[in-house]
Amino acid sequence: MDDQDEKRRGPKPKFSLDDAVDIALSLGLNEFSLAAVAKELGFSTPSLYRVIANRDDLVDKCLERIAQEMPLPPADQPWQEQLHFFTDALWNLLDTYPGLSKIFLTRPFSFRHAQDYIWTLVDNCQDAGFGEDRTGFSFGLMLLAEMTFVSHLHVEQRRNLNIDNPQVDPKLMEPIDRVSLTRRLFYKTDDIWLDQGNLRDRVNFVIAGIEAVRTNRLALPSTRTFIPATTKDDGEAAKPAG
């Protein structure tokens, strides 16, 4: 009998895998322990091994649940707007589940839980006029996802370092005092930097790059427009429209 079989011995617990996932998500993806989950369920830690193999297994089950909550953009929107919808929806999901950004950035193969979603979105954007380059579009889509994860992780840190957060270590303030900046000036960031910051401009920039590559144009348009730059007959890049 192997170790896992040994863990699964005993009476079947009166809770489900969904119950364990609910508790883990409520405790936080980065924060929960199996002991804490078991305590909330009212059982001993070994009882959890009836429904999961280990903590990593429970994290995977949480990611499966979260992936099912991600809404698809309306299929009749232009592919550019579908990508904006995607990053906005992803951001909202990251706000709902603190720690999710770090999980996706540090946990290998986490994207596999969203594989069906990703391919459906790729198909919809192709139908919306992107074209047949599934590989190139998928690369751009994953770039947008990773950029959203990194941006959200930075915002999470800014939120934690806000002067009004009582958990901020006073020692973090000392270098700021030495350069004659007030604590509030440095740590009381503008509201925009506690929300999405300039994520939309970044998304526009990536979309512009995707469009430029897709149409074999060398010049990129403004980050605030989807109109690709035109190229003069002599090969000199013209200024972007607008």
Domain ranges of the chain: 3-67, 68-214
> CA triplet 119, 123, 126: central angle to 5 degrees?
135
Spatial neighbors of 56 by CB under 8 A, at least 6 apart, are none
The percentage of the chain sitting over the pLDDT mark of 90, rounded to a whole number, equals 42
Count the neighbouring beta carbons within 10 Å of the beta carbon of residue 234. Answer: 5
Q: Which fold does the domain 3-67 belong to in CATH?
A: Arc Repressor Mutant, subunit A (1.10.10)
Count the neighbouring beta carbons within 10 Å of the beta carbon of residue 88. Answer: 17
Q: Which residues in 134-157 are b (16+ Cβ under 10 Å) and which e?
A: eeebeebbeebbebbbebbbebbe
Which amino acid does the sequence have at 215? Answer: T
In whole angstroms, give the CA distance from residue 139 to residue 149. Answer: 15
**Which one, of 143, 135, 146, lies nearest residue 209 by Cα?**
143
Q: Which fold does the domain 68-214 belong to in CATH?
A: Tetracycline Repressor; domain 2 (1.10.357)
pLDDT at 41 > cutoff 50: yes
Whole-model pTM: value is 0.71
pLDDT tens for each residue of 95-144:
999 889 989 888 878 888 999 999 999 999 999 988 877 887 888 898 99
pLDDT tens for each residue of 182-241:
444 444 445 545 566 678 888 999 898 888 877 765 443 443 333 333 444 444 444 444
Say what angle helices 79-96 and 199-214 make with each other, to 10 degrees. Answer: 140
Mean residue pLDDT of the chain comes to 77
